Structure 1
């Protein structure tokens, strides 16, 4: 019954996460549409004005905006497909389509960037001189202001929706704004008889196109090849190591599907934990990673930790001797007695842990004839004697390991003196 409730809870949580991510991608599409409309207007306007004013830089900038239209269309299609829920053929969902769309966008930008570069070089080699109209500078500055506004909108929306594709598009918006400013400077320089600067700026703009294409290509390939940020791995490892019941973090492995992070975590816990306890600990780890680091999916595997000196009988028996002596003298009982501790006293009366703790008195007793028997890796039976007043007492105690060693049971049996037997 409990396992069914937990399974249903996990299913509901996963569905909520799926819906949240899908809604984020749907919101990210708005930013892509804004970019597309802005690029359509700017590319047409700049290319037409460039033909009229004979500005190579403005023409290159117009073609740069044209590539962004095609690239944003590819991103838009990718965001649409990425929102499709998981099915039998795509058990992890379609999130990687977002990275594939960015990769396609980079190819388009590479192609147009090389075309702009080729056209500019041919103009330089032809040494063709034309009068450049200052109208081109005005158009370039208007384009810059528009793209700066679009950048602030898409960048804020990308961070809100955690969309890597939209974030890449927003960086391209900023790059376009800077190239537009550079274009305006080149045109103004040409007016004062520095026409060569217009062509140089066209080369620089083509370089910006190719550089942006390379950055998007690199990030997309990194994601598609399951590359992952090592700094994030260190953060996750440190956080998991502090989780309850975790004794060691053996492995943290991550991969991304679009903007979603998937983690495989291997931890070591005490072999004394029950299946239910270790499962509850893994649920706590998964919730922590989702809440604190916004991880989409986590798979936590538990392996038994090697407890120190667990297989060394002599070391363990000596350690238990010291702890048993503390109980005998009623020291550190809070740390040594199990929650369900029971003790059969000399008079045959049975007391529990609370009664034992409430009757503390200072003692200075010594153990003799100590013997330890290991029943299993987790259980020891100790026997010994001590002398108090005129009475010799034999003690039998049971110790069990549950992460630490605790005393479960003690029985005190009085011994009859020899002189009493002779009487």
Structure 2
């Protein structure tokens, strides 16, 4: 069964891919004709971002596949893998920006670029900011971590374009040090963005789960009629889907049917209160 929410997420990934190809084409063309190496480099950076967006798109598509014989929990973690790849690419781009800024600081380009390059950079920054807002909003609506990573990449590219504008403007007016300093700041921001994505994805891949959220889930289970005591509870994430395993104590005089009804009530409450669709409840006599 196709996840309709994740299907919506494909629109955001396609928007990123189309926008990056469009902006890269303009930047490379104008960068060459206007004599701006900074704008050309920004265009090449956007071509790299196409790869990250394609990885996100593939991750979202795979995550929609239903559970099968080899993936009993479904394919939701494909989104997490896509986020990990996107984070690595974003970090690499940020590192390249920092290295380039250091090289440019000691070997400044004295060629005066056409001011048109600065306007193209500003146009690109505005476009990417709106793409970022769209993907960020959509990612929260559908609970897609991969699309959220793509949105962070969009924001990073908007910042890179702004840094390009500052650098081109500085070169145009003869302030050569402005370009590398701004680029270094932008590079650090991009690396910090990537670190946030990588930290979250590694946390999920190592089956991390927020202790506060697990306490709330345990409280919901313990307050279910018929539950005497919650002996053990564990949680992990598969993409945007939490998976819960819990062991509960019930009255030993209950029939199998009566005990089963308690577990069904627990599952209903977990779904309505915490949006948990998969829970394994083990029963033991109190």
Q: TM-score, normalised by structure 1?
A: 0.62
Q: Equivalent residue for 1:278?
A: 259
Pairing partner for 1:133 from 114, 129, 135:
114
Higher strand share: 1
Pairing partner for 2:51 from 61, 70, 87:
70
Kindly indicate whether the alpha-carbon contact (under 8 Å) linking 2:108 and 2:177 is maintained by their aligned counterparts in 1.
no
Pairing partner for 1:234 from 191, 194, 215:
215
Task: Kindly provide the CA deviation profile for residues 97-143 of structure 1, in whole angstroms up to 9, marking residues without a partner as x.
Answer: 11112222223333343334333333333234221332222112211
Pairing partner for 2:142 from 161, 164, 175:
161
Q: Equivalent residue for 1:183?
A: 164
RMSD over aligned Cα atoms = 2.3
Kindly indicate whether the alpha-carbon contact (under 8 Å) linking 2:86 and 2:150 is maintained by their aligned counterparts in 1.
no
Q: Equivalent residue for 2:179?
A: 198
Kindly indicate whether the alpha-carbon contact (under 8 Å) linking 1:265 and 1:301 is maintained by their aligned counterparts in 2.
yes
Following TM superposition, the consecutive aligned residue runs of length 4 or more in structure 1 with deviations greater than 4 angstroms are 51-57
* Alpha-carbon distance in 2 for matches of 1:259, 1:303: 30
Q: Which has the higher contact order (CA 8 A, sep 6+)?
A: 2
Structure showing greater radius of gyration is: 1
Kindly indicate whether the alpha-carbon contact (under 8 Å) linking 2:231 and 2:248 is maintained by their aligned counterparts in 1.
yes
| Count of aligned pairs | 286
Pairing partner for 1:95 from 76, 84, 87:
76
Q: Equivalent residue for 1:220?
A: 201
After TM superposition, give the deviation of residue 54 of structure 1 in Å: 5.0
Q: Equivalent residue for 2:230?
A: 249
Q: Equivalent residue for 2:24?
A: 43
For residues 22-421 of structure 1, the aligned pairs below 5 Å read 22-55=3-36, 57-305=38-286
Higher helix share: 2
* Alpha-carbon distance in 1 for matches of 2:34, 2:201: 38
Structure 1 residues 55 and 75 mapped into 2: Cα distance closer, same or farther (>3 Å)? Answer: same
After TM superposition, give the deviation of residue 287 of structure 1 in Å: 1.1
Structure 1 residues 36 and 275 mapped into 2: Cα distance closer, same or farther (>3 Å)? Answer: same
Kindly indicate whether the alpha-carbon contact (under 8 Å) linking 2:218 and 2:233 is maintained by their aligned counterparts in 1.
yes
Q: TM-score, normalised by structure 2?
A: 0.89
Kindly indicate whether the alpha-carbon contact (under 8 Å) linking 2:35 and 2:113 is maintained by their aligned counterparts in 1.
yes
* Alpha-carbon distance in 2 for matches of 1:138, 1:296: 49
Structure 1 residues 26 and 33 mapped into 2: Cα distance closer, same or farther (>3 Å)? Answer: same
Give the secondary-structure state (helix, strand or coil) at the position aligned to 1:118. Answer: helix
Give the secondary-structure state (helix, strand or coil) at the position aligned to 1:87. Answer: coil
* Alpha-carbon distance in 2 for matches of 1:242, 1:63: 57
Q: Equivalent residue for 1:397?
A: none
Kindly indicate whether the alpha-carbon contact (under 8 Å) linking 1:226 and 1:255 is maintained by their aligned counterparts in 2.
yes
Task: Kindly provide the CA deviation profile for residues 57-84 of structure 1, in whole angstroms up to 9, marking residues without a partner as x.
Answer: 5445434433321111111111222222
Give the secondary-structure state (helix, strand or coil) at the position aligned to 1:85. Answer: coil
Structure 2 alignment gaps of length 5 or more: none
